[in-house]
Amino acid sequence: MSGIVNTAQSEAWNGYEGRHWAEHDGRYDAVNSGFNEFLFDAAGIGERDRVLDIGCGNGQVTRLAAVRAPLGEATGIDLSAPMLATARARAEAEGVANVGFEQGDVQVFPFGEGVFDVALSRFAVTFFADPVAAFANVRRALKPGGRLAFLCMTALAGTDLGTVFGALAPFLPTPTGEDGTGPTAFADPERARSVLTDAGFRDVTATRVEADQVWGSDVADAAGFIADWGPVKYHLGQVGEEAANGARQALSTALQTFDGPGGVRLRGAAWLVRAKS
């Protein structure tokens, strides 16, 4: 593994957070995979392309990218050893041979210059210690005119997830943090545009897209899953028993609105950001 400069995130993704994602990869894919086609349409992967998946996690996007490039290859990079182990196991089980996974920090990883035709990411580019440096490194790794496409969270206000997390507000801080930080670091697409421009990308665009996200088979299942998600679990552990119980009850009550025959479904919103190297 190459050097790590984003030490705080490395600790999180090699600790509880990474283990939880690795052990529940199918559940997290159920939450996020509704956005896959937006991402792949934007990436425009050709059969001979070399693809970089930034923050690949459990590797679903990497594997699907490899299938779209049968005469090329896909490489996933992530900080998390537990998630990369899951990614490799899934690739082997699915028989996806033209795929590889690297543990490393995107900000400093030695990709080389002009290696990839396209770079993409599903909700994993908002945690860089220095986002301009990280994206500049990605740009160098792309061929001239290479394509970048990624998904990132919108602001929570006005979304179904915002409604659910809003129900927790009397008891816990917002699990995602304030807009402009953490998972919502690019909630304002102008910040994404500024960062990418400073990193040397051009033709930056951001389009709002929506998809259903399945959080559980029923309210109890979804509430338990969300309560065990790293940021929520952390905040539940920082408050007293009364507040924690109140938060769990409020979470279950809020999720009832979204319960149906297909499970607990929230309508998710994201920015689909595109740029060229």
Q: At 219, give phi and psi (nearest 5°).
A: -65, -45
User: Are 214 and 203 in contact, with CB atoms under 8 Å apart?
Assistant: no
Q: At 141, give phi and psi (nearest 5°).
A: -75, -15
pLDDT at 270 over 70: yes
pTM: 0.95
- The 3-state DSSP class for residue 41 equals helix
Tell which residue, 222, 270, 246, has the closest CA to residue 169: 246
User: Are 47 and 25 in contact, with CB atoms under 8 Å apart?
Assistant: no
Residue 275's pLDDT band, with cuts at 50, 70 and 90, is very high
Residue with tokens 């490393």: 104
pLDDT in tens, 225-247: 999 999 999 999 999 999 999 99
Residue with tokens 């399945």: 214
pLDDT of residue 180: 74
- Please spell the DSSP secondary structure of 198-227, one letter per residue: HTT-EEEEEEEEEEEEEEESSHHHHHHHHH
pLDDT at 1 over 70: no
| Mean pLDDT, the chain, whole residue set | 95
Which parts of the chain fold into alpha helices (H)?
7-13, 16-23, 25-32, 36-43, 60-68, 81-94, 131-141, 160-168, 189-198, 219-228, 230-238, 241-256
User: Are 273 and 154 in contact, with CB atoms under 8 Å apart?
Assistant: no
Q: Which residues of 98-124 are buried (b: 16+ CB within 10 A; e: fewer)?
A: bbebbbbbbbbbebeeeebbbbbbbbb
